Structure 1
């Protein structure tokens, strides 16, 4: 993998990361934090570590391509690898969201950091096997699809947490 490839991957991730950071900061300022819980930095670090680990654990090796009699081709990852990596990423995102001091800002920080770390890891893995450069299109797809799915997970956890939170007297 060349330095150019790494720079291109970083540029494709920098804009969504900057947007997410600004949104997390704005939401955190407008939100009353809980008396205990993890800071947004810790929540983001959990998301990054979990995103990298879930992608690396399942997607750094392939089971190969399978050609079926009807002409369809499946691969390079097995179905169980995709389910496993998705469940791991969702679990990490839910855990980080549940530990956050800021309910809504923490949810966004967990979803964004897990998504970006997962997408970057996937792009690095995919770029080693792709000579066309189309892995960047895949990275954008992973960021959009994974971001949506992990945002749904984080929102569900945040809704459960906010429903359990006692009302703050005014």
Structure 2
């Protein structure tokens, strides 16, 4: 809790941005080589496993909800990014 009464999460914005940029590179690389399933499932499984391990010391048990939300969000976003990259690289290869 901050002095003004506001509450923030355990991660700073720069850490989240760094994570997104770090994961974006291998997802785009794999998707551009038509390994869409590996890009989506590998990233989602790795991120979910790491978060579950890191957050599992929460005594309330609510970390399970956070891990579930992270799993769903990373699955949706990596699928969308992989589909977009796959479509863009497919169009450039067909020319």
Aligned to 1:67: 2
Which runs of 5 or more residues in structure 1 are unaligned?
1-65
Bigger relative contact order, structure 1 or 2, given CA contacts below 8 A and separation 6+? 2
Q: Are positions 1:108 and 2:37 aligned together? A: yes
Of 108, 120, 135, the residue aligned with 2:49 is 120
Q: Which runs of 4+ in 1 moved over 2 A?
A: none
Aligned to 1:77: 11
Q: Are positions 1:155 and 2:83 aligned together? A: yes
Q: Are positions 1:138 and 2:66 aligned together? A: yes
- Give CA-to-partner distance per residue, 1:43-94, whole Å, 9 cap, x none: xxxxxxxxxxxxxxxxxxxxxxx5152x221121111001111111122211
- Separation of aligned partners in 2, 1:90 and 1:148: 14
Structure having the higher Rg = 1
Q: Secondary structure at the match of 1:74?
A: coil
Q: Normalized against structure 2, the TM-score is what?
A: 0.87
Shift of 1:120: 0.7
* Corresponding pairs, count: 95
Shift of 1:151: 1.2
Q: Normalized against structure 1, the TM-score is what?
A: 0.51
- Separation of aligned partners in 2, 1:113 and 1:139: 16
- Give CA-to-partner distance per residue, 1:140-169, whole Å, 9 cap, x none: 1001111111111111110111102238xx
